[in-house]
Structure 1
């Protein structure tokens, strides 16, 4: 009888042989998660192994080397990976954002060689954000023309999540006219350097620190101009990856604590029952956790299904799909505003089920709150709640592209 994770992988559409191998890798990751958090290092081989098994290509059609996963199936897979180790899901975030953009270009009739790279196991990383007090929307990383007809990229990024584990890095850069481009840069170009200087208290092994580009060389086909009037699809996908990761963390936290309660022999003299598992107050905390994770899963799935509806309509008529894109974006923002505080509250409340033994660093239960808080801080829900309210009251659209930086 297959293990529960194997059954989920099979149900999603993985062949049995690959499901077994992926399950083995995720089992190892889950067992090492506490040590990975403490040491701030994830074995890069696990990314390569999963990529070789087709994880990164699941959204491609079978004829193109993938498994033809829908978006709801993709986000269920990402939650499953996050259940083992949420660092890995965040590392792969940029890859799946890039994949969706490539697929959309392909559906519009373009020949996208990057999809063939993905089918062969290539992984894409990210280098978008720049530190400093520059004006929001300003991009200081520069694209410069070379005499040989190629281009060079120079600048420094931060929060370059996934780049240390990638084959290609998608870099946000500007040309001499200030136009913004998504530039696909060879991770192993001599002008690329990744620094493991991420010192955040959560998602410690994502290497989400600096990426430096010093004359990295690219060709014209590696430049993709960003449309200022683009729809909110990319932001929707980006946030759904984070939300799926948070759902996986919540589910792992609940499993970890439930296991501790079941095996716990110590209890309190003033408790209402002789065992923690039989205590009504402990049962209520676990029950609330089950509900919180279940509702979070459902919220992500609803937003993912709405995003899939948009994609299906977009293939037929771009003009008729606008309302569906807005609906998917709204549902994703609803999920973000609700899921973050719900799961963060769970990550604190579960410590009420036991005593000081739950604080042991060997158990690493604190990492779940730290990881949730880190992910939630990437795009604070309070600002998303405000624009939702503004949209309802004044009829404005939600921002489809946003930047951090100084407001003038």
Structure 2
């Protein structure tokens, strides 16, 4: 596999802009027929975009969080399914930066620059809650570890060359095992059946006696023993996906009204696009989009500001809270705007062959990641009592 090596933030943004129409071209059909986006992911890999956060010392562009958020937002305008697939890819690049061994960093970063991909195997559906991880790393007598467990919602795993697996060691501490996707004992099952984000292949990963070298295990628990941006960074990408869904839905709604919606007879106008009430509604929706995107940019800049200096509890709290605000705003914008397509488009917009409901289904499904109510809880605690948000991977 070969890929372009992107050298700067500007190059990353230009590559993303070029990829948007490629993703958009078949997005509706892929959703309707559940055609997995293999070709589109290969295009993303070949473009070099999946390696833009590789550290400069390994040959990567190491772009800012602001640039990454905009890249993801652009890709999500084209196809939010494709944009979601590398969410964990970028999150686990961060884990490698902080906790990966020198051997593992060199191995995986070299692969990423060549166009290879990370997936994920972290969530477990049969446990009490998100943090109840029961997948285990057990020390082998001859060295290395044996990995056993079952994961669900494993977005990206089916398309991956490496699958980062969240697991607990014998001391119950949290680790990430970087497992080659073709390792013996790894089974990736395409059983994802969500109403939206249908082509992310967010299915099941079964791990049975998978052997993992010592150097391929990163002590992820150390990430949370001090100030950290792991959660903020991962959540920023989710917010960018929602922002892209909102923008894509608004653009398609406008195109539909301009070309297919008939004016209401009482307006006396020749075009629906001239109706003052519709114009007012589009103004409201565009304001919501702009507000959400502004919070997304502010959140990304807060992460970048924290990263430029030594991390402190205060700087990472500022970033986490900014991301929480962006996540709520982008999620609300995505759900409302994707629903409003039908309000502004009229009866014709509900015809099944048009598949305009994919925007709402994608928004409604993706925004279920990490509940909005807890983002608001942390924002409220800080606003009222000055309480800093907790150290974990989803804030």
| TM-score calculated relative to the size of structure 1 | 0.87
Partners of 1:153 and 1:216 within 8 A in 2: yes
- Match status 1:39 vs 2:36: no
**What is the correspondence of 1:166-315 to structure 2 with a 5 Å cutoff?**
166-225=160-219, 226-227=221-222, 228-264=224-260, 266-271=262-267, 273-314=269-310
Q: Corresponding residue for 2:105?
A: 112
Q: Corresponding residue for 1:162?
A: 156
Partners of 1:267 and 1:354 within 8 A in 2: no
Q: Which moved more, 1:84-93 or 1:60-69?
A: 60-69
SS of the residue 1:342 aligns to: helix
Unaligned runs of 5+ in 1: 1-8, 404-408
SS of the residue 2:120 aligns to: strand
Q: Corresponding residue for 1:14?
A: 11
SS of the residue 1:124 aligns to: coil
Structure 2: distance between partners of 1:279 and 1:393: 44
1:150-169 CA distances to partner (integer Å, 9 max, x unpaired)? 21211001111111111111
Partners of 1:286 and 1:350 within 8 A in 2: no
Alignment equivalent of 1:329, drawn from 317, 320, 324: 320
SS of the residue 1:67 aligns to: coil
Q: What number of residue pairs does the alignment pair up?
A: 386
CA shift for structure 1 position 235: 0.9
Q: 1:374 to 1:111 in 2, by over 3 A?
A: closer
CA shift for structure 1 position 395: 3.5
Partners of 2:53 and 2:63 within 8 A in 1: yes
CA shift for structure 1 position 287: 1.5
Q: 1:178 to 1:15 in 2, by over 3 A?
A: closer
Q: Corresponding residue for 1:342?
A: 333
Q: Corresponding residue for 2:3?
A: none
CA shift for structure 1 position 105: 5.0
SS of the residue 1:59 aligns to: coil
1:195-239 CA distances to partner (integer Å, 9 max, x unpaired)? 111111111111112111111111001111122424341110111
| TM-score calculated relative to the size of structure 2 | 0.90
Partners of 2:230 and 2:393 within 8 A in 1: no
**What is the correspondence of 1:132-151 to structure 2 with a 5 Å cutoff?**
132-134=126-128, 137-151=131-145
- Match status 1:359 vs 2:350: yes
Q: Corresponding residue for 1:152?
A: 146
Q: Corresponding residue for 1:66?
A: 60
SS of the residue 1:98 aligns to: helix
Partners of 1:310 and 1:325 within 8 A in 2: yes
CA shift for structure 1 position 337: 2.5
Structure 2: distance between partners of 1:368 and 1:63: 40
Q: Which moved more, 1:387-396 or 1:327-336?
A: 387-396
Q: 1:362 to 1:212 in 2, by over 3 A?
A: same
Partners of 2:196 and 2:362 within 8 A in 1: yes
Structure 1: distance between partners of 2:134 and 2:318: 33
SS of the residue 1:47 aligns to: helix
CA shift for structure 1 position 33: 0.7
Structure 1: distance between partners of 2:278 and 2:234: 36
Q: Which moved more, 1:44-53 or 1:186-195?
A: 44-53
SS of the residue 1:125 aligns to: coil
Alpha-carbon RMSD across the aligned residues, in angstroms, is: 2.6
